[in-house]
């Protein structure tokens, strides 16, 4: 019996190429697991059973690296032509994608068989997955807790073995947060590493990128090599391809890589004591293993950065609603979408062009600061999240404050901004570092290096210089091979 909890995408591909299993058997095992578990976990929003089985049965070309391997896409911009593309919003419940996204084109080119789309928060705006339309996604390790977001459905599907690998995306931590909460590996690649477009080539102004959640470092590396896009000439930020030689060289020299770590609070006092202890303990273990490890203090105004990030979110949401309104012939009204998205869109109407442009100056100055930092250090080690997953039902985003406001349109710019901060900051406190690397474009990876006293997963994050994925994969491989990963989350 195929059990994807113990069989990664690389092993699945190898077994198919060796004739040990067929693509049909691989896909059927995934679909059987979805049908068995999804009623309790709500991870998969759309299942393409007959289509996927038919594709698997007809597959004859086994040369692509992941030929015949089942995969789930995320229902947030990973468009699959003539299939649902709802962004977990009832507003788009009947919407079908017109064309494939370029990222999905590359997934198909790599040989994967798409079996469905996973659940996410509405418009991928939250760090938990609990849209009013699609419902809450519980954690694969403990159903009383959230899986995280916005790639929560992907995390739970992977954690339960519905698939050996799950496509995801990250615009402010949306791969790394559920990886931390769910005990998985979550790489956010450098800006431009994977394909964007054609609907938007600068998703969230370049902050967002598509990739995957994985259960092994080799899957992360192999997926990255397959998905680093060189075929889409119009794509901005495109990077030179990584080579296998670069990955090998980085692995061989991993002990020479310099590690800085910090537990500084960039946003108020967000970090839990358990998060601080996890970083300190890992740093001591690495130092004892012979790594060059140094504690550092960084002067970064997270409160200013998060205000700028919300400005970007607001303008992008306002643009999206304007485009949807034009397509429908009338503008979106409150009640058609959740209050979080509607409030951001209302706030976005007040942002002048000079202020929006100024946000990207802020991002670039931050990127320059980290570029200088990485002349001395190869990595920065931090908590991936400030604490472990919140319990389902626990207040994380103050939607009650939004509900109390009967009419957003009567609020001025300052009042809207204050309401956004009051409502959304409690969620941001859960991941006070993650979004920073979306602004700078650097790669960062969450690794399952800690387990809380309650038995919950807790990830630590390594970030590197832009285009530094080879180094990140090298340190991740070292930690995995030397049994630093926490594989057992039983309480």
pLDDT mean by block of 10 residues, the chain; 491 residues: 94 98 98 98 99 98 98 99 98 97 97 99 96 97 97 99 99 98 98 94 95 99 92 78 96 97 86 95 96 95 92 97 91 94 95 97 97 98 97 87 86 91 89 96 98 95 98 98 79 40
What phi and psi values does residue 461 have, to the nearest 5 degrees?
Answer: -115, 130
Whether 190 and 42 share a structural domain = yes
Q: Is 220 helix (H, G, I), strand (E, B) or coil?
A: helix
| 284, part of any domain | no
pLDDT of amino acid 491: 40
CATH of the domain at 109: 3.90.1300.10
Domain that holds residue 159: 9-257+443-481
Q: Is 138 helix (H, G, I), strand (E, B) or coil?
A: strand
Residue-wise pLDDT tens digits, 48-87: 999 999 999 999 999 999 999 999 999 999 999 999 999 9
Q: Of residues 174, 196, 203, 446, which has the active-site annotation? A: 174
pLDDT of amino acid 234: 65
pLDDT of amino acid 242: 96
Whether 331 and 447 share a structural domain = no
- Relative to beta strand 258-261, strand 292-295 is parallel
Q: How far apart are the C-alpha atoms of 432 and 454, rounded to whole Å?
A: 22
| 107, part of any domain | yes
| 405, part of any domain | yes
Q: How far apart are the C-alpha atoms of 112 and 383, rounded to whole Å?
A: 32
pTM of structure? 0.97
Whether 337 and 453 share a structural domain = no
| 113, part of any domain | yes
> What DSSP string runs through 352-375?
-HHHHHHHHHHHHHHHHHHHHHTT
Q: Of residues 85, 88, 150, 180, which has the active-site annotation? A: 150
Whether 331 and 236 share a structural domain = no
Whether 244 and 314 share a structural domain = no
Residue-wise pLDDT tens digits, 398-410: 888 888 888 888 8
User: Is residue 446 flagged as an active site residue?
Assistant: no
| 487, part of any domain | no
Whether 134 and 66 share a structural domain = yes
Q: Of residues 28, 45, 74, 89, which has the active-site annotation? A: 74
Q: How many domains, in total, are found in the chain? A: 2
Whether 229 and 312 share a structural domain = no
The structure tokens 């259960």 sit at 215
pLDDT of amino acid 391: 97
Q: Taking all residues of the chain, what is their mean pLDDT, rounded to a whole number?
A: 95
Nearest to 405 by CA among 453, 342, 454, 350: 342
pLDDT of amino acid 273: 94
Q: How far apart are the C-alpha atoms of 444 and 464, rounded to whole Å?
A: 6
| 201, part of any domain | yes
Whether 309 and 228 share a structural domain = no
| 3, part of any domain | no
Whether 101 and 197 share a structural domain = yes
Whether 459 and 415 share a structural domain = no
pLDDT of amino acid 489: 55
pLDDT of amino acid 293: 98
| 486, part of any domain | no
Q: How far apart are the C-alpha atoms of 399 and 419, rounded to whole Å?
A: 10
Residue-wise pLDDT tens digits, 375-424: 999 999 999 999 999 999 987 888 888 888 888 888 889 999 999 999 99
User: Is residue 174 flagged as an active site residue?
Assistant: yes
3-state helix, strand, coil in the chain (%, to 5): 45, 15, 45
Whether 313 and 251 share a structural domain = no
Whether 454 and 342 share a structural domain = no
User: Is residue 169 flagged as an active site residue?
Assistant: no
Structure tokens at 248: 């090998």
């Amino acid at each position: 019996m195929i059990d994807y909890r113990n069989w990664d995408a690389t092993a699945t591909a190898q077994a198919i190429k060796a004739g040990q299993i067929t693509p049909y058997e691989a896909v059927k095992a995934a679909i059987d697991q979805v049908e068995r578990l999804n009623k309790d976990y709500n991870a998969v929003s759309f299942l393409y059973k007959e289509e996927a089985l038919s594709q698997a049965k007809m597959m004859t070309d086994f040369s692509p690296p992941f030929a015949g391997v089942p995969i789930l896409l995320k229902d947030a911009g990973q468009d699959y032509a003539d299939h649902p593309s709802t962004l977990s919003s009832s507003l788009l419940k009947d919407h079908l994608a017109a064309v494939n996204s370029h990222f999905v084109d590359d997934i198909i080119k790599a040989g994967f068989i798409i079996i469905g789309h996973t659940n996410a928060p509405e418009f991928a705006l939250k760090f938990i997955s609990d849209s009013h339309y699609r419902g809450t996604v519980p954690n694969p390790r403990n159903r009383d807790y959230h899986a995280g977001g916005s790639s929560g459905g992907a995390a739970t599907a992977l954690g339960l073995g519905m698939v050996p690998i799950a496509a995801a995306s990250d615009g402010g931590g949306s791969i790394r947060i559920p990886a931390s909460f769910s005990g998985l590996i979550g790489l956010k690649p450098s800006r431009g590493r994977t394909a964007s477009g054609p609907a938007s080539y600068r998703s969230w102004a370049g902050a967002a990128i598509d990739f995957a959640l994985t259960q092994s470092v080799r899957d992360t590396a192999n997926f990255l090599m397959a998905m680093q896009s060189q075929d889409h000439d119009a794509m901005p930020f495109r990077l030179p391809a990584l080579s296998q030689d670069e990955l090998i060289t980085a692995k061989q020299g991993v002990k020479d890589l310099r590690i800085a770590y910090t537990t500084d609070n960039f946003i108020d006092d967000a970090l839990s004591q358990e998060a601080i202890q996890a970083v300190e303990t890992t740093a001591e273990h690495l130092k004892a293993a012979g790594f060059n490890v140094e504690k550092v203090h960084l002067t970064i105004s997270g409160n200013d950065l998060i205000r700028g990030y919300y400005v970007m979110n607001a303008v992008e949401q306002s643009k999206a609603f304007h485009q949807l309104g034009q397509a429908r012939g009338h503008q979106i009204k409150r009640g058609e979408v959740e209050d979080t998205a509607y409030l951001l869109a209302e706030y976005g109407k007040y942002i002048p062009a000079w202020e929006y442009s100024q946000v990207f100056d802020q991002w670039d100055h931050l990127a320059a600061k980290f570029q200088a930092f990485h002349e001395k250090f190869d990595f920065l080690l931090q908590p991936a999240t400030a604490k472990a997953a919140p319990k389902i039902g626990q207040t994380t985003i103050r939607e009650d404050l939004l509900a109390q406001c009967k009419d957003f349109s009567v609020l001025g710019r300052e009042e809207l901004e204050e309401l956004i901060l009051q409502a959304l900051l409690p969620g941001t406190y859960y991941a006070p570092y993650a979004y920073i690397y979306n602004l700078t474009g650097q790669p960062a990876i969450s690794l399952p290096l800690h387990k809380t006293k309650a038995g919950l997963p807790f990830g630590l994050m390594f970030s590197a210089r832009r285009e530094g994925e080879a180094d990140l994969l090298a340190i991740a491989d070292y930690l995995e091979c030397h049994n630093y990963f926490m594989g057992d989350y039983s309480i």
